[in-house]
Amino acid sequence: MPALSSIRPVIRARRPVVPLPKLHVPMSAYVVDCAVYIDGKRLDGRWTHDAAIAEVRRRDEGFVWIGLHEPTNDQINAIAETYGLHELAVEDAVHAKQRPKLERYDDSLFMVLKTVGYVGHAEPTTATELVKTGEVMAFVGADFVVTVRHGDHCGLHKVREALEADPEQLALGPAAVLHAIADHVVDAYIAVTDAIETDIDEIEAEVFEPKSQMDSEQIYVLKREVLELRRSVVPLTGPIRKLAEGYSSLVPHDVRSYFRDVDDHLANVTERVSGFDELLTTLVDSALAKISMRQNNDMRKITAWAAIITVPTMIAGIYGMNFKYMPELDSPYGYPAVWLVILVCCGTLYRNFRKNQWL
């Protein structure tokens, strides 16, 4: 029988010490989707951010598209380190509240787009908010696209589905994804602009309705919402134009023509929004002028009735002085005569005021 001491080394060899795994935040908590695309087709399987980029670089073709929704610093740092994202751009992507812009960092692009959504309501004269906003940030490299979304109304799921249904377009690379996102955002601008135009038409009809009681405060509410839309639309013109004109080699020539189409749509929206602002300013002036006219009419009516009431008040005041010698005090026809004078004078004044449209 072997000694116990000779068995113990064998037991230690069969049970090596295994280090505890490091804890990570689950990818599903903030990664909406992570996919690898080769020749415009999505590879099967579920991918982590590091495994996806490793697969693309091993094949030396294709790209990775990662979609994030409102990540924190800790959640995005691992992706930023793996993909070489610039720390300033990462900070902007986490904290949001950025103006639309396009920035170039070495071998990558960072683009911010403001998204808009239309708030449904019964009628614009009772709504307190018509436009809600969000943001989409896109990091674009030679073999990856990382999108960061803020807001619940600006999902990119339909954009991804549309691109996956068109492998030829998706095969153009990360720039094609950036174009699809920009086109999706601008299409939302057009939809919101159409809806706001309908609201403005309704308010315009209400303002110029002869007997309407339009509150100018609602026009200010709509004007504020148009200003919010303008802040989203106008600053994006420069970045889209840069991409259409060859701002970066990451956007191939075949994709630039698509950005020119987006630029045309965006220019159309910009002109319409500027027109809305001017029209609403005119409607505010018209509503205030209408209020002033209504107040003037009310003052004329008050003045006319005050003048009519002055006649019996003056006569009653004269005959209330109680002097002994006053005409018609002892006459049996004095009282009817006073009433006749009052009625004739008041009737004459009323007829004149009606003729001059004071009453």
For residue range 156-176, what is the model confidence (pLDDT) as tens digits?
999 999 999 999 999 999 999
Q: Mark whether 55 and 120 lie in a shared domain.
A: yes
Let me know if residue 2 belongs to a domain. no
Report helix, strand or coil for 321: coil
Residue with tokens 């691109």: 163
Q: Mark whether 124 and 72 lie in a shared domain.
A: yes
- Give the confidence band of 310 by pLDDT, cuts at 50, 70, 90: confident
Contacts of 160 (CB under 8 A, 6+ apart): 33, 35, 65, 67
Q: Mark whether 42 and 187 lie in a shared domain.
A: yes
What is the per-residue pLDDT for 19? 36
8 A C-beta contact, residue 307 and residue 349 = yes
Domain boundary among 292, 310, 331: 292
Q: Which domain holds residue 58?
A: 25-292
Average pLDDT for 51-60:
92
Q: Mark whether 208 and 234 lie in a shared domain.
A: yes
Domain boundary among 260, 292, 324: 292
User: Cα separation of 139 and 109, whole Å?
Assistant: 6
Residue 358 has pLDDT above 50, yes or no: yes
Domains held by the chain: number: 2
User: Cα separation of 250 and 13, whole Å?
Assistant: 54
- Give the confidence band of 29 by pLDDT, cuts at 50, 70, 90: low
Q: Mark whether 305 and 171 lie in a shared domain.
A: no
Let me know if residue 42 belongs to a domain. yes
pLDDT digits (tens, 9 = 90+) for 68-83: 998 888 889 989 999 9
Residue with tokens 């614009």: 124
8 A C-beta contact, residue 196 and residue 275 = no
Backbone angles phi, psi at 19, to 5 degrees: -70, 145
Let me know if residue 236 belongs to a domain. yes
Closest CA to 258 of 158, 188, 169, 147: 169
Residue-wise DSSP of 268-317: HHHHHHHHHHHHHHHHHHHHHHHHHHHHHHHHHHHHHHHHHHHHHHHHHH
Kindly report the average pLDDT of the chain as a whole number: 82
| Most confident option among 17-26, 74-83, 306-315 | 74-83
Domain boundary among 292, 313, 347: 292
Q: Which residue has the higher pLDDT, 311 or 237?
A: 237
Let me know if residue 3 belongs to a domain. no
Let me know if residue 263 belongs to a domain. yes
Average pLDDT for 46-65:
92
Residue 3 has pLDDT above 60, yes or no: no
Let me know if residue 16 belongs to a domain. no
Angstrom CA distances, 14 to 10, 17, 21, 237, 314, stand at: 6, 10, 20, 67, 122
Q: Mark whether 54 and 116 lie in a shared domain.
A: yes
Contacts of 206 (CB under 8 A, 6+ apart): 125, 212, 214
